[in-house]
A and B are shown apart, each in its own frame.
Chain A
Amino acid sequence: MSEPLLRATNLVKEFPVLGTGGLVRPPQRFRAVDDVSFEIRAGETLALVGESGSGKSTTARLAARLLDVTSGTVELDGEDVTTLKRSALNRFRSEVQVVFQDPFSSLNPRHTVERIVTAPLVYQGRPVPGGARAFTRSLMERVGLDPDHSQKYPAQFSGGQAQRIGIARALAVGPRVVVCDEAVSALDVSVQAQVINLLRDLQREEGLTYLFIAHDLAVVRQIATRVAVMTQGQIVEEGDRDAVFGAPSHEYTRKLLDAVPRIRPEWERQRRANAARASEVQFGAQA
């Protein structure tokens, strides 16, 4: 087994509680992430699942260095990155990028696609390889967008397309790890399927590593290699995807899986059988 690419050890994040504490007395502290450890190997997808308030998004933000830890360490490729500053932090940012839930609120509405996707390079003071126009076109092709639309604004795209822009921006710096924070949650089911496919293709073709934050267990089933279940700031169960879904060991995981609404499996089998028969008939008629 290879060394993990990203490792989090004993992560803790506390926030002060508003309205508590005074001049002398320190405010009460709320522990959002409580001693969380995980590892992700290169080319894998670790899904952090949980309900609202479980601490999964905060954990992702700690791992991506968007928030500073209260204690614990984050390592990338064996290097401790927990307290990196300035240029060293920029180097880390070109290795680890984030895709957010709401594509429209995470894209500047007054900037063109070209300006949005080249921004991470500009902020890090790096040259844009091959010039902004050509670079943007090739990125847009990689995420399945029409490269002729590089001068358009976010509002001119649909939700699914806007999320592709968010993914293109994350890929611009050539990261090895992409943190997807509910990246497909706001999308319609048909568009969601397309974006999941895109993320899978990118992983297969470019060896990307994902930390995938989601509340939707059915989506996680489609994309995860391993799954960690969080509740109340802690990981209560972690394992290979099929083990967690097939034989959950923690009571909370079982409760979560039981609660997911599902289409009856026998209906699904019948539908697939009917569809297969229909396409046979059609094929036979054409022949």
Chain B
Amino acid sequence: MTTESSVKNDTDALLEVRDLTVTFQTPRGPLDAVRSLDLDLEPGGALGIVGESGSGKSMTSLAIMGLQPRAARRTGSVRLRGRELVGMSEADLRRVRGDRIAMVFQDPLSSLNPYYTVGLQIEEAYRAHRPGVTRRAARKVAIAALERVRIRDAARRVHHYPHQFSGGMRQRVMIAMALSMEPELLIADEPTTALDVTVQAQILDLLQEIRRETGTGLVLITHDLAVVSEITDHIVVMKDGVCVERGPVEQIFTRPQHPYTQALLDAVPRIDDEIGELRAVAPGAVVADAVAEKNGGAA
């Protein structure tokens, strides 16, 4: 009885990460790139993970998918609709990745193979997860996916190579590939960082629209506070591998509790206002505080 009800509770959440830790062995001893991180995402929700370089945000996204470097050790729990991904066999994991969870990275050019047409790449990815699907059917899926992300003349564009697309269009291709499998969860790691601001706006609109229409859950990893403020509903602020603050987006932006979050928000240059003196973020015992707090110790 009890197990049954707890399983039910678990499946309510789309993504449930508990105590996720990624450790590297270094000559100076073990180093945690991510330490004791918890994440929760409801179906159709959008979670923003923000942090500066070295905060562990990208390692988090890789570790969710089990894609952390070989030299790293991952512990903790990652559940997708209640299904534990940590400790799952590589074969099972491969079925989950790309199918149930899809990922979009910062640099679409290095994620696409320059020797194959984009159509073929979408089709191959699709057929790898849907054995028995014919080439013809996969081609239809590829065209529909490109149309989804508003690439005009998709039936002709499937025959084009990655270099024939602009940066923004390539990112659309990546999103199309990710969506062709109708994943439950899309993890986007700095998806617009390499793009011009007008193109960024289009891609962010597209991600919003996809979420609304398909109910795909979104984990957005970025350094850009303005971007997360616009498209996510919950935020996790990371620094040095730990979560220093979490909460609904409005709460984080109006009543930040942690000094690091406060300093970070102070440091963001505003387009609609000149700040007298930009306050710099002071390095300090941020991490020790956060860990002590999490461990329940009165810091």
Contacts and interface: CB of A to CB of B under 8 A. Distances in A.
A217 B197 contact: yes
Interface stretch (B70-78, B137-145, B272-280): B272-280
A2 interface: no
Interface in A161-198: 188-194, 196-197
A271 interface: yes
A51 B194 CA distance: 11
Given A217-B197, A259-B197, A275-B262, A194 B271 contact: no
Interface of B: 52-53, 167, 196-198, 200-201, 204, 223-227, 229-230, 250, 253-256, 262-275, 277-281
A264 B253 contact: yes
B53 to A, nearest CB: 6
21 contacts: A52-B196, A188-B53, A188-B223, A189-B267, A189-B269, A191-B280, A193-B266, A215-B197, A217-B197, A217-B271, A218-B269, A221-B273, A221-B274, A245-B272, A260-B197, A260-B271, A262-B230, A263-B270, A267-B253, A271-B253, A271-B256
Contacts of B224: 261
A81 interface: no
Given A216-B269, A219-B269, A222-B278, A270 B197 contact: no
A189 B271 contact: no
Most chain A Cβ neighbours within 10 Å, of B227, B269, B279, B280 = B269
A85 interface: no
Contacts of A271: 253-256, 265
Main secondary structure of the interface of A (DSSP, over half): helix
B278 A256 contact: no
B200 A193 contact: no
A91 B136 CA distance: 68
> Which bracket fits the contact residues of A?
35 or more
Contacts of A265: 272
Contacts of B52: 188-190
B244 to A, nearest CB: 13
B198 A259 contact: yes
The 9 A-B pairs with the shortest beta carbon distances in the complex, nearest first, are A190-B281, A193-B278, A259-B201, A51-B196, A188-B52, A193-B267, A261-B226, A218-B269, A270-B254
A270 B225 CA distance: 16
Contacts of B250: 267
Given A51-B197, A260-B271, A263-B268, 4 more contacts: A192-B269, A267-B250, A267-B254, A268-B270
A193 B270 contact: no
B198 A197 contact: no
Nearest to B278: A193
Given A221-B270, A261-B204, A271-B253, A215 B196 contact: yes
Contacts of A263: 225-226, 229, 253, 265, 268, 270
Interface in A219-235: 219, 221-222
Contacts of B167: 52
B157 to A, nearest CB: 21
Contact of B267 (A159, A190, A259): A190
Contacts of A261: 200-201, 204, 224, 226-227, 229-230
Most chain B Cβ neighbours within 10 Å, of A159, A190, A265, A268 = A190
A89 interface: no
A86 interface: no
Contact of A190 (B254, B272, B274, B280): B280
Contacts of B271: 217-218, 221, 245, 257, 260, 262
